[in-house]
């Protein structure tokens, strides 16, 4: 009986083992069949290459497990297939682990875009909704299957849907193909550009009106994709079409810096140097420099992407000195974020040298008949209205101006202030009192009762309200002397930096005859050299806040005592006692209170300026740098305020202090 029970138990265990084995075998068969499917090839490739961690990363980084995401993708709308073109038109088969692709952006709004992947056109001839704005395709990197094809009208709609798509639909290691059609920049906002930057774009921040752009990248890429191209539009025409055919690998190559697609040769520059062989061009035309391409500088400050400063047209006036113009062009092309098609050089008729020079930099040229600089400025505003009727601002430069590395950065910080305050006439990059020893803080800017400057940004509404048709009466002086008529009529102010963002080429100024005012340029000046010098609290430059700011400075200031005898001696030399005090302290505010003999006189202000070493020549007219009858400048990082009795800030004078 026991033996019989043992036999039964053994048979039962054997039955269990057989059943388990059968179940296990069934599972194995199912798994084998699964692996024998299309997924087997991809998983086998991942295991063999030792890169299965991409699946692990996918599971960690995605909001849903891979199986859920794959199911979601599997049941989405069917992607239509258009024309079949073997190998997408490439003459040779692509290597393993890559697929053929043809991308075409279209020449204009009537020439439809096209995209071919693995021999099948998935966009073109109205399939899959391709159209204006940004066209996007997602390719999964294992089987190279097209997961999604989308179009986002970034010309007419905000980027909310596009941002959501990039955040939620693109998975780690997905290959993403993006390209423009017609116009894609108008409503492509800052957040969208940042997301594209994170996906590996090094050029998206420079996308402008009717530019042509494409990028092939991969989510999770480190650095910048090597598959990216941006063609700039000229005037209102579409940029050159992008028509690319090549093999796309399953791992998109990247570079730490944005790749330079241009070869290291520049035959146009070589030809220019051979034709115009001048000593002034020695550095530009040096043997090794001749072959260097001239390329716009990439904007790397992500916080500035989409700033209006980088789409604002720049107009350069040139009639006298091509060698001086070259210095201006070189400093302009090195501005991070510069957009060459928006730069126009207005030059006098018959100057072929300037026309050829402009083409080297990708800038536009316009020939004018005017020989007087201020007439050229009038022509600049008219040109703006013709070519850019919707632009709100324009930047005007005179030849010979060497821009600081942060010229456009400074303008980018000031434009939001300008938009909020109708009392502002513009932004000047030049501090008239920015001499060495009297200008020191690159993070400071203030308001002055002047207009315009030597390198400045002006709203078009200022031209329309105060300048249009009046240049022969309002604006006959040099720009650096200021146009007082406009200031008096408008009651407006200009923003200037404490440390100038522009330097006038000294040689050209010495060659010109400015009489007593030559001191303005000949005395050594200071210009900012920090490419990322931010302005502290730019929002405080709006009218009411700035007035309050100056009032607070007055209240905390230290009176600087000068006697009438001191003032008399200052006709011959600066006041040593006052200068000693200013050099002993740093970071303080000093105020000098005085009373002019008449409202139209600035004699005491002139004498006080000499006492403190600011001027050694007579004022020909109203001093530069005045705000509500207060002259402001720096000495040894101290703020000095010369406060005249008619100023509203004069009431802060201590009652025990006798004014001069």
User: Which tokens in the block code for residue 561?
Assistant: 């005592």
Number of domains in the chain: 3
| Lookup: tokens for 274 | 């051979």
Q: Assign residue 273 the CATH number of its domain.
A: 3.90.550.10
- DSSP H or E segment with residue 422: none
Is pLDDT of 506 > 90?
no
Give the whole-angstrom CA distance, residue 102 versus residue 612.
70
Task: Identify the weakest region by mean pLDDT among 483-492, 593-602, 633-642.
Answer: 593-602
pLDDT grade for 513, boundaries at 50, 70 and 90: very low
Tell whether 523 and 578 lie within a shared domain. no
Same-domain pairing of 565 and 526: no
Residue 350 has pLDDT above 50, yes or no: yes
Residue range 177-220, pLDDT digits in tens? 999 999 999 889 888 999 999 999 999 988 888 899 999 999 99
Decide if 302 is inside a domain: no
Q: What is the pLDDT of residue 236?
A: 67
Residues 220 and 332 in one domain: no
Specify whether 90 is located in the same domain as 164: yes
Helices (H), ranges, 438-542? 460-462, 471-474, 484-490, 506-511, 519-522
- Residue 557 included in any domain: yes
Domain assignment of residue 558, given as a range:
544-652
Give yes or no: residues 590 and 616 share one domain.
Answer: yes
d(CA 430, CA 438): 14
Q: How far is CA 22 from CA 8, 18, 213, 335, 594, in A?
A: 21, 6, 59, 73, 106
Residue of 82, 90, 103 lying closest to 181 (CA atoms): 103
- The answer to whether residues 520 and 643 belong to one domain is no
- Does residue 470 share a domain with residue 356? yes
Highest mean pLDDT among 117-121, 263-267, 296-300: 117-121
Does residue 393 sit within a domain?
Answer: yes
**Position 218 in a domain:** yes
Q: What is the mean pLDDT of residues 57-85?
A: 53
SS3 375: helix
Q: From CA 99, how far away is CA 227, in angstroms rounded?
A: 14
Please give the C-alpha separations between residue 348 and each of 173, 276, 425, 659, in angstroms, as whole numbers: 55, 18, 28, 53
Contact 342/383 with Cβ under 8 angstroms? no
Domain assignment of residue 320, yes or no: yes
Closest listed residue to residue 463, CA positions, set 437, 426, 414, 493: 426
pLDDT of residue 561: 84
Ranking 23-27, 145-149, 462-466, 519-523 by mean pLDDT, the lowest is: 23-27
Res 135: pLDDT: 95
| Arithmetic mean of pLDDT over the chain | 81
For 634-655, letters b (16+ CB in 10 Å) and e give bbbebbbbbbbbebebbebbee
What is the predicted pLDDT for the residue at 259?
A: 58
Identify whether residues 586 and 608 lie together within a single domain. Answer: yes
Mean pLDDT of 112-141: 90
Q: Is the peptide bond before 452 cis (omega within 30 degrees of 0)?
A: yes
Same domain, 466 and 578: no
Q: Which residues contact 239 (CB under 8 A, 6 or more apart)?
A: 210, 211, 212, 231, 232, 233
Which domain-ending residue is among 489, 510, 541?
Answer: 541
Residue 522 pLDDT level (bands cut at 50, 70, 90)? low
Query: Is 33 domain-assigned?
Result: no
CATH of residue 595:
3.10.180.20
Asked whether residue 563 falls in the same domain as residue 531, the answer is no
Average pLDDT estimate for 640-644:
94
369 and 467 both lie in a single domain: yes
Least confident of 452-456, 512-516, 609-613: 512-516
Higher per-residue confidence, 30 vs 462: 462
Please report whether residue 297 resides in a domain: no
Tell me if 115 is assigned to some domain.
yes
pLDDT tens for residues 82-95? 889 999 999 999 99
Looking at residue 361, its pLDDT comes to 94
- 493 and 403 in one domain? yes
- 124 touches 114 (CB < 8 A): yes
- Residue 14's pLDDT band, with cuts at 50, 70 and 90, is very low
């Amino acid at each position: 009986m026991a033996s019989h029970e043992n036999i039964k138990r053994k048979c039962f265990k054997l039955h269990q083992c057989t059943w388990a084995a059968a179940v296990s075998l069934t599972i194995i068969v199912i798994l084998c069949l699964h692996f024998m499917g299309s997924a087997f090839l991809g998983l086998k490739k991942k295991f063999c290459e030792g890169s299965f961690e991409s699946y692990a990363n996918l599971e960690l980084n995605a909001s849903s497990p891979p199986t859920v995401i794959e199911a979601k993708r599997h049941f989405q709308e069917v992607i239509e297939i258009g024309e079949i073109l073997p190998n997408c038109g490439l003459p040779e088969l692509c290597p393993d682990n890559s697929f053929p692709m043809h991308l075409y952006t279209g020449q204009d709004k009537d020439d439809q875009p096209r995209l071919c992947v693995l021999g099948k056109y998935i966009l073109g001839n109205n399939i899959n909704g391709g159209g204006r704005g940004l066209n996007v395709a997602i390719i999964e990197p294992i089987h190279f299957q097209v997961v999604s094809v989308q179009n986002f009208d970034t010309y007419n709609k905000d980027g909310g849907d596009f941002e959501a798509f990039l955040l939620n639909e693109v998975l780690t290691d997905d290959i993403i193909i993006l390209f423009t059609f017609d116009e894609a920049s108008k409503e492509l906002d800052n957040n969208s550009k940042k997301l594209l930057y994170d996906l590996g774009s090094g050029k998206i921040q420079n996308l402008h009106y009717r530019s042509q752009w494409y990028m092939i990248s991969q989510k999770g890429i480190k650095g910048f994709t090597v598959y990216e191209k941006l063609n700039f539009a000229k005037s209102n025409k579409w940029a050159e079409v992008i028509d690319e055919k090549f093999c796309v690998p399953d791992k998109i190559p990247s570079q730490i810096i944005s790749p330079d697609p241009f070869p290291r040769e520049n035959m146009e520059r070589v030809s220019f140097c051979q034709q115009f062989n001048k000593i002034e061009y020695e550095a530009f035309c040096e043997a090794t420099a001749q072959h260097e391409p001239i390329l716009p500088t990439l904007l790397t400050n992500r916080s500035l992407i989409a700033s209006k400063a980088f789409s604002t047209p720049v107009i350069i006036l040139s009639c006298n000195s091509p060698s001086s113009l070259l210095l201006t062009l070189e400093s302009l092309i090195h501005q991070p974020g510069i957009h060459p098609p928006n730069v126009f050089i207005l030059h006098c008729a018959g100057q072929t040298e300037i026309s050829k020079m402009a083409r080297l930099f990708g800038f536009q040229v316009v020939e004018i008949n005017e020989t007087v600089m201020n007439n050229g400025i009038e022509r600049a505003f008219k040109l703006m209205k013709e070519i850019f009727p919707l632009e709100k601002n324009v930047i005007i430069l005179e030849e010979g101006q060497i821009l600081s590395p942060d010229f456009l950065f400074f303008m980018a910080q000031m434009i939001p202030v300008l938009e909020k305050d109708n009392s502002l006439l513009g932004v000047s990059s030049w501090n008239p009192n920015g001499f060495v020893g009297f200008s020191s803080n690159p993070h400071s800017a203030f308001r002055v009762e002047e207009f315009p400057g030597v390198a400045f940004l002006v709203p078009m509404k200022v031209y329309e309200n105060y300048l249009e048709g009046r240049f022969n009466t309002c604006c006959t002086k040099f720009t650096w002397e200021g146009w007082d008529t406009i200031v008096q009529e408008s009651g407006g102010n200009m923003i200037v930096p404490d440390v100038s963002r522009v330097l006038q080429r000294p040689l050209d100024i010495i060659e010109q005859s400015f009489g007593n005012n030559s001191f303005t340029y000949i005395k050594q000046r200071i210009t900012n050299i920090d490419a990322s010098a931010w302005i502290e609290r730019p929002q405080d430059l709006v009218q009411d806040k700035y007035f309050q700011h100056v009032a607070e400075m007055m209240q905390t200031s230290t009176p600087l005592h000068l006697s009438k005898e001191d003032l008399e001696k200052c006709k011959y030399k600066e006041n040593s006692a006052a200068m000693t005090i200013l050099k002993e302290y740093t970071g303080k505010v000093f105020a000098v209170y005085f009373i002019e003999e008449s409202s139209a006189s600035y004699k005491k202000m002139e004498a006080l300026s000499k006492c403190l070493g600011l001027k050694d020549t007579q004022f020909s007219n109203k001093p530069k740098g005045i705000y509500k009858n207060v002259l402001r400048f720096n000495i040894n990082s101290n703020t000095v305020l010369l406060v005249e009795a008619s100023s509203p800030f004069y009431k802060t004078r201590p009652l025990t202090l006798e004014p001069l």
